[in-house]
Structure 1
Amino acid sequence: MVELDPAIREFYRERYVEGDRLARSGHGQLEFLRTRELVRRFLPATPAMVLDVGGATGVHAKWLVGDGYEVHLVDPVEEHVEQARAVGGFTAAVGDARALDQADGSVDVTLLLGPLYHLVDAADRAQALREARRVTRVGGLVVAAGISRYAGLLEYGNNGRLSEDNVHLFTDALATGRHYDDPNGFTNAYFHHADELRAEFESAGFEDVDVLGVEGPAAPTLDNAADDDVPRLLPAAITLARLVERDPRMMSASPHFLAFGRA
């Protein structure tokens, strides 16, 4: 199996709790609800086989099983796989998006809701997309998440942490797409423009490619909201995200994109 970047492995093992990421903040809740909404919009009818690549601790696998799908989760972090197995209702194994164990055309849907932004090199992202296409049946669905080039800049610009001392971290990422491990923040990652993510899907041979903004422009508001104010703010934020999800002038205000394509 190909090796995971040691900095990324250390980040998830020692510095970051992935299990409740999509529940512990208003932004996380917004990301979860909108990701689920968008994925459900494109999913085939049940029953269908979903391969959740980079599925971490199973937050999306859990609702997919609840909806009636058969799910197998793959993640390169052993601790994530152990937690996912404890959820129950789906199978889970250690694996890498660039070298999947599944047979050709063996699944109906392949999700990559994390791998692409941790594959900093374009060749690795292309290999992961080729693997997703290989294991997905002809006409099947592949979904991948990307982080916006503007995500870090918007987050720190809205939470008071952007300063002359750290602004280079975000302007460099905006210029190159590469975010380097920050001991006080995120680990090694690649940040996309929406049209760049679309081009990677098309280069990998997918058809009917669509790219949508996930959280919309209200994500920083949710990020900085008090916990007891989140329920009041969420409905309007979701409505706003839906309204601008395809607007090329607004999509980059979403911290995440979702790309959809047919194998």
Structure 2
Amino acid sequence: MLSRYAAVAQTMGHMDPQAREIVDYYTLRYREDLRLSAGRPQARLERQRTLEILRESLPPAPARILDVGGATGEYARALVALGHRVRLLDLVPAHVAQARAGHPGLDAEVADARALPEDDDSYDATLLLGPLYHLPEHADRCTALAEAVRVTRPGGTVFAAAISRFALPLDFAATGRLDDRTIERARTLLTDGRNDPVLGFTHAYFHRLEELVDECLTAGLVNVTVEGVEGPAWLAAEAGAHGPTAEQLFTAALALARTYRDEPALVATSAHLLARATVPGDPSRTRPNQPDLPV
């Protein structure tokens, strides 16, 4: 364990305090590689619906895809299996090591979403399925989105995930953890959107739907649409996760997530929002310096 702490300390030495906190959290306190496979209905819905949206929205394989904040490679491996050429970037060195060492091993590198080590117009699509909620400052989120625009070809697609403003208190209510302190925090979240690590997780930002759209537009994206990932019934699935009707509740929640995916009145009831937007410009423009990604 000492060597693990030493490695983290060495890596974090040149990072700003915000980045150091994220690296510390995911290296020493939380196993991101287990999250989507842990069996929670919310996580199962998140994984299945995210992959469904990506499959129907990405260009035909083999597309060049940049997975920014791709963690240990859960989505990247699924896309590689579909024939896409994927490069993964993540702030956490331990995540990158796991991405490289998994099966199949991924092309992966440590990087900050706010300063991507990639050439302009290099990818057909860029995924930001985590960085936005680890950037509490509006300017940083817009910078990360602008970087995604920069490295994606004209006509390409950027996908950006955000945690809904209402996810935390709704989750606490569904799992029997809502108390006076959480209700008070829910009131504060309505105005500031910032997670209090005392309640769990780390420093983070929870979006309103209109904020996510505005940030995408500010970064230069067009044709912005936002879907609710888990749908409005993920709460019922969570509440009944250990009961005799757990699978029926999950099946129903999945069906409603698909049915109400872009219903404006219900999108924000999902735990996660997923924006899909287009990089403006002529899609036929030649892309310089395309990376030689593995197939």
Question: When the two structures are superposed, what TM-score results if normalisation uses the length of structure 1?
Answer: 0.94
Question: Does 56-65 or 218-227 show the bigger shift?
Answer: 218-227
Is the 8 Å Cα contact of residues 229 and 271 (structure 2) preserved in structure 1?
A: yes
**Matched residue SS, 1:258:** strand
State the Cα distance separating 1:186 from its structure 2 match.
1.3
CA distance in 2, matches of 1:5, 1:229: 42
State the Cα distance separating 1:228 from its structure 2 match.
7.9
Identity %: 45
Q: How does 1:231-246 map to 2 (within 5 A)?
A: 231-246=247-262
Question: Aligned partner of 1:14: which letter?
Answer: L
Question: Aligned partner of 1:34: which letter?
Answer: R
Q: Per the alignment, do residues 19 and 227 of structure 1 end up closer, same or farther by CA in structure 2, a change over 3 Å counting?
A: farther
Residues 10-40 of structure 1: CA deviation (Å, up to 9, x unaligned):
2212221100111111211111000111111
Structure 1: stretches of 5+ with no match in the other structure:
none
Is the 8 Å Cα contact of residues 216 and 244 (structure 1) preserved in structure 2?
A: yes
**Matched residue SS, 1:175:** helix
Find out whether 1:105 has 2:121 as its counterpart.
Answer: yes
> What is the aligned counterpart of 1:66 among 81, 100, 104?
81
State the Cα distance separating 1:223 from its structure 2 match.
2.6
Residues 207-249 of structure 1: CA deviation (Å, up to 9, x unaligned):
1111111001121233340298554333221110112111111
> What is the aligned counterpart of 2:36 among 22, 25, 47?
22
Question: Aligned partner of 2:23: which letter?
Answer: R
Question: Does 184-193 or 104-113 show the bigger shift?
Answer: 184-193
Question: Does 14-23 or 65-74 show the bigger shift?
Answer: 14-23
State the Cα distance separating 1:200 from its structure 2 match.
0.9
> Which structure has the larger Rg?
2
CA distance in 1, matches of 2:209, 2:31: 28
Is the 8 Å Cα contact of residues 100 and 107 (structure 2) preserved in structure 1?
A: yes
Question: Aligned partner of 1:261: which letter?
Answer: A
**Matched residue SS, 1:111:** strand
State the Cα distance separating 1:6 from its structure 2 match.
2.9
CA distance in 1, matches of 2:217, 2:115: 20
Is the 8 Å Cα contact of residues 7 and 181 (structure 1) preserved in structure 2?
A: no
CA distance in 1, matches of 2:66, 2:245: 35
Is the 8 Å Cα contact of residues 50 and 109 (structure 1) preserved in structure 2?
A: yes
Structure 2: stretches of 5+ with no match in the other structure:
1-13, 280-295
> What is the aligned counterpart of 1:8 among 16, 22, 31?
22
> What is the aligned counterpart of 1:187 among 202, 208, 218?
202
Residues 37-83 of structure 1: CA deviation (Å, up to 9, x unaligned):
11112100111111000000100001000000001000000111111
> What is the aligned counterpart of 1:50 among 65, 68, 71?
65
Is the 8 Å Cα contact of residues 98 and 128 (structure 1) preserved in structure 2?
A: yes
RMSD over equivalenced CA pairs, Å: 1.7
How many residues were matched structurally?
Answer: 262
Find out whether 1:94 has 2:85 as its counterpart.
Answer: no
CA distance in 2, matches of 1:86, 1:209: 35
Question: Does 214-223 or 31-40 show the bigger shift?
Answer: 214-223
Find out whether 1:206 has 2:201 as its counterpart.
Answer: no
**Matched residue SS, 1:178:** coil
2:238 alignment counterpart: 223
Question: When the two structures are superposed, what TM-score results if normalisation uses the length of structure 2?
Answer: 0.84
